[in-house]
Structure 1
Amino acid sequence: MTSKRPKFSNLALIEESDVEYDLSIFALGFESRAVNLLPSVAKRTRALLALGFDHGRELAYEENKRAFSDASVRVEDGLSDREFEEVLRGHLKALDGESHRMVFVDVSCFSRFRLASIVHELFSLSQSLGAGLTIDFAYSLAKFEKPDSIRQPNTVVGPAHRAFAGWSQGGYSSTAAVLGLGYEQDQALGVVEFLQAGEVWAFTPKSPVVEYKAEVDKANDLLLSEIPPNRVLEYDVCAPTSVLATLESVVRGLGDGHSVVLVPFGPKIFVLCSLIVAAMRNEIAVWRVSQGTAIKPSDRAASHVQVGLRVAFPPQDGSSSISSNLGSQQS
């Protein structure tokens, strides 16, 4: 995947922006936060799209579906992952390159596979839109809920998407694992053992929802005790441009001697940053690790915290582009 390097900026509060979007994309799932950002963009988007799953029609699902329908959102429901990619690609192809295009994506409730597919398709789209493309990614941080203390084995371990399997193409004898830590009990440790990683780096989230920190530390205490302190980096959940810069710096330093695999547990904003870094560096892999069907569905309500990242691809033909500062706070 090759593309002009985009410019990045942290978004200001989504509801205070006056940007008009050609397309806004949401996940239709069972978490109530799935519709949290909808009112902020519904009236200033030409086409609204909610993409559903072929499972998980429980908890807040029906209420979310009604909310999308009431807002005149086009709902594509019951999609397998393969169908999701086909539908997404079809809607993105409808964006012609005659003028600069603006796309909004709420990443809060997409699975890692689907978020990887979105990043891959949008980076690919940027190559065909001569007048340029800007994507505003947004994330509703969930209210704190104490994690499930029952440990389940990882049943899904591998690349988040075929486009992010880059590490397997290298000829290095050593693998470096770069982890984003969440409060999934010992899952990060399990994937380090699976990879037999020769070098391990860990990113721990600093969140405005302060209750998360103690649980993240507790869930990863054994792993953290085995990693040198200078390889444990704290990142600000609300500053994705800083996360991108630090993550890319670490990956660049490791890339000369290792096959590098990013394993983003924790907040979706770190998942997004990992995918963007890998999209710009083809040799980097992004893995997903999951307990599969053993995961117990739980509703995640939105907190007061919203995080946004603008990814602006410049025009390819020298035509004028919108300002990267429009509706955002420059990093």
Structure 2
Amino acid sequence: MASLTLSGLPALRRQHLLVEFAGLKQVCPEGVFVTLSPGDPTLWSGVLFVRDGPYAPAVLRFQISFPDSYPRLPPLVTFSTDMFHPLITPLTTYMHSTDVQDDGTVSATDEERLPPGGFTLRHGFPEWFGRGSRNTSRQSSGQHQPVQTPPRQPRLSVSSKGTPTSKGSAVGNSPGFAETQTKEISTFEVLRYIRSTFDDENVLDSIPVEAAGNSGAWHAWRTHRQDQGKVFEGASEAPDAGDTKEPPGQNESGMPSGVRKPGEWNWEGVWEERVKKGVAASLSEAVLYGGAAGGGGGDDVIRFSNMEDDDIEAVKDNLLRAIAH
């Protein structure tokens, strides 16, 4: 009799997700809170409290959707809170292709696309994105969710020192962008990696442009870091904003001269401005307590209450009494 695998049994796959979720109740990355959608263990809702680093103190809502063949295929992570981030596709994007060619064109047959707000996992977990293995897996998974595109040419990431031990840097303890050895990846590792891309500058520095979900945010972050004195290996000087103009007609790539690639824009000050606005918006009452896009109202599973300090202390006391008994 052929051996039965976890990916071939839907009931066991769901049980596997429930076991992973139960484990997160005991140990979960700091600042990350997740819960199951009622009646559907394959859809998780989460909130990330960014307590340190370049995106602090943002409060970000996201969902994780697990395909039928998880953990052989990656989950789809989608942020509903708008944030300017190298790995998050803009909410204004109808559908972001992760296989854009150098001339800016997108294949009409490209099935590997991220929805608006999609978070690409290619940098943290490149072993999930082999085209051959994915095509084989799709036969069993069907079209459950769009799958992110693997890098066309893996590149070694810039070395980093990682974060303090208490934070558990995901990059320091997981395969790099160029490593492709196969292993089963836990949801804890995914959540820890997601958090590290918001609170650890070294993780953001190590992301190659090929793995970016928002190339504009990638260039803006690089410019911001270079302004701080960071030197990247192999990085060329950014073109001066006044030198990017071309005569009317077409440029060497055949594109209209008025169209410039993300690397040709002047990104000075863009990251600081966009992220500052995004963090402020994530902390606004309309977003935290509902009513605005990406807010805590409507159908959100995790909701916040606007409470006075005395009420918060009373809730804390009740929790402590419940734990004591």
Q: Which has the higher contact order (CA 8 A, sep 6+)?
A: 1
Q: Per residue, is there more strand in 1 or in 2?
A: 1
Query: Which of the two has higher C-alpha Rg?
Result: 2
Superposition TM-score, scaled by structure 2 size = 0.25
Superposition TM-score, scaled by structure 1 size = 0.24
